[in-house]
Structure 1
Amino acid sequence: MERCDFCELPIGGGCACSLGTDGGPTRTRGTGSVSAGSVFPTGAILVSPRGVAHRPGCLHQNDNEVTAPLWGWIPEPDPQLWRRISQGAPAQATHGNTKRVATRRCQSCDV
């Protein structure tokens, strides 16, 4: 069974990452791609100035506004990095503002 790159749940059997919302970016079921003009790869982790990790297509962020020097990002992170992000296991941005460090995950993205 195919599993989601984001939540690792079976696609069509528990994964809600591909469910769209009105007016916002959506992840396309099966392909894992992000629509609505996102400039980041599907698996990227976006690091906010407040140290919060977001995913492309976050419902309360506009991917087009995620730019350096305010934001940092990790375009191709280890697949397990998202779940490890915490105070004890921070994620350092590798692109954009590389001084940005995520120590928590966005609750909207962490579905």
Structure 2
Amino acid sequence: MERCDFCELPIGGGCACSLVREDRGASGSGAASTSKSVPFPNGTILISPRGIAHRPGCMHQSDSEIKAPLWGWITAPDPQLWRRLSAGSPARATHGNTERVATRRCQSCDA
């Protein structure tokens, strides 16, 4: 059974991250082909101005408004980074505003 890169739960069997994958195009390029465009590659960690990590497609964020200089992001994070993310194990953005540091995960994205 295929497991999620973020949460390691089975896709379709407990992994809520798979909801983002359903909006992906069949090309595998990471770009959405639906009207709900997700401009970030699958697996990206988005970092808000408040230091909260989100996933693309977060229900309470508009992906079209996520851009530098307000936001930063990590496009190819270590698959375990999402679970390690905390005040004791922060993550610094590698793209966008690289001064952004996430110290906690969005509760909606983490569910």
Q: TM-score, normalised by structure 1?
A: 0.84
Identify the residue that residue 12 of structure 2 maps to in structure 1: 12
Aligned residues: 104
Deviations 1:50-88 (A, max 9, x none): 000000000000111000000000011010000111101
1:34–1:57 CA contact under 8 A, matched in 2: no
Note the 1:1-111 alignment, pairs <5 A.
Answer: 1-19=1-19, 26-28=20-22, 35=32, 36-111=36-111
Taking only aligned residues, the RMSD between alpha carbons, in angstroms, comes to: 1.9
CA distance in 1, matches of 2:16, 2:73: 23
Q: Structure 1, unaligned stretches of length 5 or more?
A: 20-25
The runs of 4+ residues in structure 1 deviating greater than 3 Å are 31-35
Q: What amino acid sits opposite 1:27 in the alignment?
A: R
Decide which structure has greater helix share. 2
CA distance in 2, matches of 1:8, 1:103: 20
Deviations 1:16-62 (A, max 9, x none): 3334xxxxxx4318x89574211101100000000000000000001
Identical columns (%): 73
CA distance in 2, matches of 1:63, 1:79: 21
Q: Structure 2, unaligned stretches of length 5 or more?
A: none
